[in-house]
Structure 1
Amino acid sequence: MTKNKERASEHEHEPTVYVVDDDLDMRDSLQWLMRTVGLQVEVYPSASAFLEAFKPGGAGCLVFDVRMPGTSGLDLYEELVARGEGMPVIFMTAFADVPMAIRAMKSGAIEFVEKPFNRQALLDRVQRAIKNEVERLHLKADREAAQRRFRLLTDKEREVLALIKDGQPNKAISATLGITPRAVEMRRAGLMKKLEARNFAELLRLSIEAEAAVDA
């Protein structure tokens, strides 16, 4: 097992900065820089080395050099996007040009920096990207959890839920569905328990999260 793989295993739940640059001095410099502020960092000399070790699913930020022998940083990120990996990326280059910058932004880059760059400015960008990515993943997890809970509902409970969301009280729901108020109360209690909603506000929030997970 390589050192990078060992670090990945030990810190797989920590947000990680993944640096891919064919310049050894730049890799060492960026590794040191990220560690000065307590960031977990892994460095790779090529796209192939990165792809061999990378485990998707966690939070983090990609810092890719654009121009590298073999697969470029842009090609590498486009490959990750094609695989469904949406981690934020910051591209670095010593030879910027407009077409390259446009392609980088269209690929999903949040930043495009020219070497040499201000170290603190780069750190700020990386930390901001990680913060946003952590929040995005938490929101995604909440939505998926809400969707799993909604799958537990019976069709009858879903009927009641739809009318609750329309603002109908129990008596109106009873009349609409042709069931007793007691049956409405039982279905309402059942769906609230399954969704782990303590009140109407939580019920609405969970509904929104579940619907967002379907649309995502």
Structure 2
Amino acid sequence: MSHTTPIVFIVDDDISVRESLEALINLTGSQAETFASAEEFLARPRVSVPNCLILDVSLPDLNGLDLQKQVTAERAEMPIIFITGYGDVPTTVRAMKAGAAEFLTKPVSDDVLLDAIGKAIERSRETIVREAELQALRDDQATLSRREWEVMTLVISGLMNKQVGFELGISEITVKAHRGRMMQKMKARSLAELVSMNAKLRPPLQ
């Protein structure tokens, strides 16, 4: 399998369900990994390729909704598709409010499931790209000196170089030098781009 092959994780205590879903998913070119319990799944290290989780609500240890909480908090790039034979309105509403990509009731047609998986994988791919871009910004931000950080904060707030110099007690020429290095380190081509970067980095800059 290519290291970029999407992975569909399946957590269901019914072995026949796991096997049928695994066979279906493998036919699509994605890689399926099956688990009989939430605890078994949680022991699997996080992956860096597009992925999603097909999850049953009723499980022998940690139930599906409780597992959803943990996955949502720790693995933002992993959309969750619930498939259950015991769906009810309160459970469905709770799952969807908590961010589930889909809530399907067994039996589910192959077309409906594959459509849900396709959308979830694309959502995962977009999240991974955004997270990588954000991490790159954080890495650039970490290279700033204290003075460059101060200059960036004041520039973003709308102050001119002369005003920044007054606030920091340094000359306008020195501000320009710090500002130039800061823009270079942040790889910002304009003030507008720097402001956009700042918005993406929040709350770290607050």
TM-score range, shorter chain: 0.7 to 0.9
2:6 matched to which residue of 1? 15
Q: Answer yes or no: is the 8 Å Cα contact 1:64–1:91 preserved in 2.
A: yes
Alignment pair present for 1:89 and 2:63: no
Deviation at 1:161, TM superposition (A): 1.9
> Is the contact between residue 54 and residue 80 of structure 2 (CA under 8 Å) also seen in structure 1?
yes
Structure-2 change in CA distance of 1:187 and 1:26 (3 Å): same
Matched length: 204
State the SS of the aligned residue for 2:143: coil
Unmatched 5+ stretches in structure 2: none
User: Any residues of structure 2 matched to 1:24-39 within 5 Å, and which?
Assistant: 24-39=15-30
Question: Where do 4+ consecutive residues of structure 1 move more than 6 Å?
Answer: none
What's the offset of the Cα at 1:26? Answer: 2.1
Separation in 1, partners of 2:166, 2:173: 12
1:105 is matched with 96
Aligned counterparts of 2:22 and 2:39: Cα–Cα separation in 1: 19
User: Does the CA contact (< 8 Å) of 1:35 and 1:41 recur in 2?
Assistant: yes
Question: 1:144 aligned to 128, 132, 135, which one?
Answer: 135
Deviations 1:168-209 (A, max 9, x none): 443454455453332122111111122122333332222222
Name the structure 1 match of 2:202.
211
The CA RMSD measured in Å over matched residues stands at 2.8
Give 2:187's aligned amino acid: E
1:16 Cα deviation from its structure 2 partner: 1.4
1:61 aligns with 2:52: yes
Q: Flag the 1:205–1:22 CA change in 2: closer, same or farther, 3 A.
A: same
Q: Distance in 2 between matches of 1:166 and 1:51?
A: 43
1:96–1:114 contact (8 Å) kept in structure 2: yes
Partner of 2:33: 42
Indicate yes or no: 2:116 matched with 1:160.
no
Structure 1, unaligned stretches of length 5 or more? 1-6
For residue 74 of structure 2, give the secondary structure of its aligned residue in structure 1.
Answer: coil
Q: Which residue of 1 aligns with 2:191?
A: 200
> Can you list the C-alpha shifts for 1:104-124, whole angstroms capped at 9, x where unaligned?
334432211011112112111
Q: Secondary structure in 1 aligned to 2:202?
A: helix
